[in-house]
Amino acid sequence: MSEIKVDTLTGKTTANDITVTAGATATMSLEQGLVKAWVNFNGLTSGTTIRDSFNVSSNIDNAAGDYTTTFTNAMGNANFSPNSFAGTGTVTPQTSSQNLAGISTTTIRTQTYIGSAFDRAYTMNQVHGDLA
């Protein structure tokens, strides 16, 4: 069995030119399987301090537990799949819901909500889909 290690893998002009084959039957486009944007931010601080991110130009605190994340590079359409999570950063059990409040090719708006909106110390978003 051979192993290839690279720092950067660049595709051709279309997303389907690079493929990864798992076993004998499953093939997927490598570029399709990658996260296109993600952010980890502190929702308790004024201005939502971004801890780390990829393809995110800004994060806005609209109100308590209400955030808008703006992408550096737009998505191809608004039918992408965003995933969000909010928590305290401790092992204390919690039931906080992260709701999708708005979506466009350049932003997602999320709200942390349990009966009413509130801020959490750890709020994270991931986006899967096609870039423009």
Q: What string of pLDDT tens digits covers the 132 residues of the chain?
A: 688 776 665 655 554 555 544 554 444 556 666 899 999 999 888 768 899 999 999 999 999 999 999 999 999 999 999 999 888 877 666 656 788 999 999 999 999 887 788 888 888 999 999 998
Are 9 and 89 spatial neighbours (Cβ–Cβ below 8 Å)?
no
Which pLDDT does position 24 carry in this prediction? 46
Counting Cβ atoms within 10 Å, is residue 32 exposed (0-12), middle (13-18) or buried (19+)? middle
Which pLDDT does position 7 carry in this prediction? 65
pTM: 0.75
Ramachandran area for residue 48 (φ above 0: left; ψ -120 to 50: alpha; else beta): left
Instruction: Using alpha carbons, select from 73, 75, 43 the residue that is nearest to residue 56.
Output: 73
Amino acid of residue 124: M
Which pLDDT does position 6 carry in this prediction? 66
